Amino acid sequence: MADEADQVPAITVKEPLDLVRLSLDERIYVKMRNERELRGRLHAYDQHLNMVLGEAEETVTTVEIDEETYEEVYKTTKRNIPMLFVRGDGVILVSPPMRAGV
Amino acid sequence: MSASKREKFYSYNTLVCLIEGLEGKYTTVDMRNESFVYGKIMQADGFMNLVMSDVTYVDGRGSEYNFDSFFVHARNIRYIHIPTELSIIQTINEQLQKMKRTVKPERQQVSKKVLQRHTETLKMIYGDTK
């Protein structure tokens, strides 16, 4: 019986949020509503996906129409926030950062 | 004034307790309509509604307005900037200590009188079978 207990991994994945737990203290990518993206170190989260991100970088993408060519121009603005609390209702997805994007 | 059970549950079980620990601190709150407020958090409840004071409100176009007192409904919050000097885990622990529930007095025993009346009523209904 003791052997069985020893073989249980430290973190078991039973529900989706356990996957988020695997990312604790790692840099993560968060897609937010309104074309916003965050990259930062995940310090804490809860069941609403409220999160505390350290060294967060927010990227906001806006679309503007070029007045002459009428082409859609995507503009991104970035800003850094040392410690950020994110309210969960704006979160779309949480993922490890994409290799190229970090 | 007492918080509902649901509100208390949120305070105990979610990161809202961290926000409650920010009471008395100056910070920036980004709102969903592209505006933000900078000011002192006076009070935060279990739903993350905020009462702030000494506030500068900057709307989406960049115009600034000053308010002595300001209420932010939770659903309008996008981000809350946390002061860097703050230790998160310490703040949460302190907050949980503050909320520590007071032990309720034990439930009163049913008094003999009530029990007697109860048996009498049962007898009345079902007759004295025993």
ipTM confidence score: 0.80
Task: Check if A83 contacts B (Cβ < 8 Å).
Answer: yes
Check B81 against A84: CB less than 8 A apart: yes
The encoded tokens of residue B35 equal 């505006």
Q: Where are the domains of chain B?
A: 5-102
Fill in the amino acid letter for B33.
N
A97 band by pLDDT with thresholds 50, 70 and 90? confident
Residues of B in contact with A85 (CB under 8 A): 15, 18-19, 79-82
CA angle A57, A61, A64 (to 5 degrees): 150
A–B interface: beta-carbon pairs under 8 A: 52
A31 band by pLDDT with thresholds 50, 70 and 90? very high
The yes-or-no verdict on residue A2 having pLDDT over 60 is no
Report yes or no: B84 and A83 within 8 Å, Cβ to Cβ: yes
Check A87 against B13: CB less than 8 A apart: no
Indicate the CATH number of B5-102 among 2.60.15.10, 2.30.30.100, 2.60.40.10, 3.40.50.620.
Answer: 2.30.30.100
Q: Give the pTM.
A: 0.78
* Number of other CB atoms surrounding residue B74 within 10 Å: 16
* Helical (H) or strand (E) element with A53: strand A51-65
State residue A3's pLDDT score.
53
Compute mean pLDDT per 10 residues along chain B, 130 residues long, and list them: 85 94 95 95 95 96 95 96 92 89 69 89 80
**Which whole-number Å values give the CA distances from B71 to A11, A95, B60, B68, B81, in the listed order?**
41, 33, 18, 10, 17
Check B15 against A45: CB less than 8 A apart: yes
Task: Check if A78 contacts B (Cβ < 8 Å).
Answer: no
State residue B58's pLDDT score.
96
Compute the average pLDDT of residues A75-102. 87
Task: Check if A73 contacts B (Cβ < 8 Å).
Answer: no
- Which is more confident, A86 or B109? A86
* pLDDT tens digits for range B24-52: 999 999 999 999 999 999 999 999 999 99
Distance CA B42, CA B22 (A): 9
State residue B75's pLDDT score.
94
Check B74 against A81: CB less than 8 A apart: no
Task: Check if A51 contacts B (Cβ < 8 Å).
Answer: yes
Check A85 against B82: CB less than 8 A apart: yes
* pLDDT tens digits for range A68-79: 888 899 999 999
Check B88 against A52: CB less than 8 A apart: yes
Q: Which of A34, A46, A81 sits opposite B81 (nearest CB)?
A: A81
